[in-house]
Every structure is written in C-alpha cells, then in structure tokens.
Amino acid sequence: MALLSYLSSTNMDNKTKGRIGENLASRFLEKNGFTIVARNYMKKWGELDIVAQKDGTLHFVEVKSVTYVQNDFIHTPEENVHAFKMSQIRRMIRTFLMETNRGVESEFYFHVLCVYMNMKTRKARIKWIKNIIL
C-alpha cells in the first residue's frame, strides 16, 4: 500500500503519524468490504479510532502506527494496546453502543490494525489482529 504522497520527512510527530495510519487503515477496511461508521469517536475517558460495519455487525478498530527506515523496530505497535488501554476501549465501546441505541448486548468485534510505514520506500503494510477478546 503506497503512503500518501505528501510524506517527505522521516521525522513526524505522533499525531501526524497516527492520522496517516488511521487514513491507511480506513482505506484498508473499505477495500475489505467494511463501511466506516465513525472515526475518532471521543469522550473524556478515551477514544475509538475507527468504528466500522460489515454484514450488519459492528467492528471496533484500534489503529497503531509505526514509522521506520529499515526493518528494525524498537517495539511492535500492538505492544501499546496494554491492559489500561483495553479497559478504556471496553468503556468506549459500551458508551458508543448506548449512545447509538444499539444496547450493550449487541454483537461486535474488536480488532487492532498495526500500520508499518516504511519512510524510505514510502510504502506501508498492515497487520490485522482480528477478534480480540476484551
């Protein structure tokens, strides 16, 4: 997957990296038959990166992005989805389901999309960790 053409620097702040990663993740999901319902759904206690729908079922997606030049990572993106983050996500999902009148017993799935952005080749790859149990 090609990176956005305006990327010219290997040094970018985390907010920019996250926004680009979320854009790539959204396009990836749409290419795989999902409809994006919401992005960056925020409350005081957390945020849902992407809420998507496919075949009538909601999918909550946490996006973690990393940039690199070689294949040497200090850590993998999914390592940042730790216990505290998972508890925030659980609370955010419950809030989203209640606010959209779907009910907390609704069927849904939770996934993590890890976006690896190679700044040298200006390409990205996505690792999809599916159906994580919250």
Q: What are 74-101's pLDDT values in tens digits?
A: 667 777 777 888 899 999 999 999 999 9
Helix ranges, 3-132 (H): 14-31, 83-99
Q: What is the predicted pLDDT for the residue at 75?
A: 65
Nearest to 62 by CA among 18, 118, 121: 18
66 neighbors 77 (Cβ within 8 angstroms): yes
pLDDT band of residue 6 (cuts 50, 70, 90) is: very low
Q: How far is the C-alpha of 31 from the C-alpha of 99, rounded, in Å?
A: 28
SS3 18: helix
93 neighbors 110 (Cβ within 8 angstroms): yes
Model confidence pLDDT, tens digit, residues 18-76 = 899 999 999 999 999 999 999 999 999 999 999 999 999 999 999 998 887 666 656 67
Please report the domains of the chain, with CATH numbers, ordered by start residue.
14-129 (3.40.1350.10)
Q: What is the predicted pLDDT for the residue at 76?
A: 73
- Tell me the two tokens of residue 78: 């999914």
- The torsion defined by the Cα of 125, 129, 130 and 131, in degrees rounded to 10, comes to -160
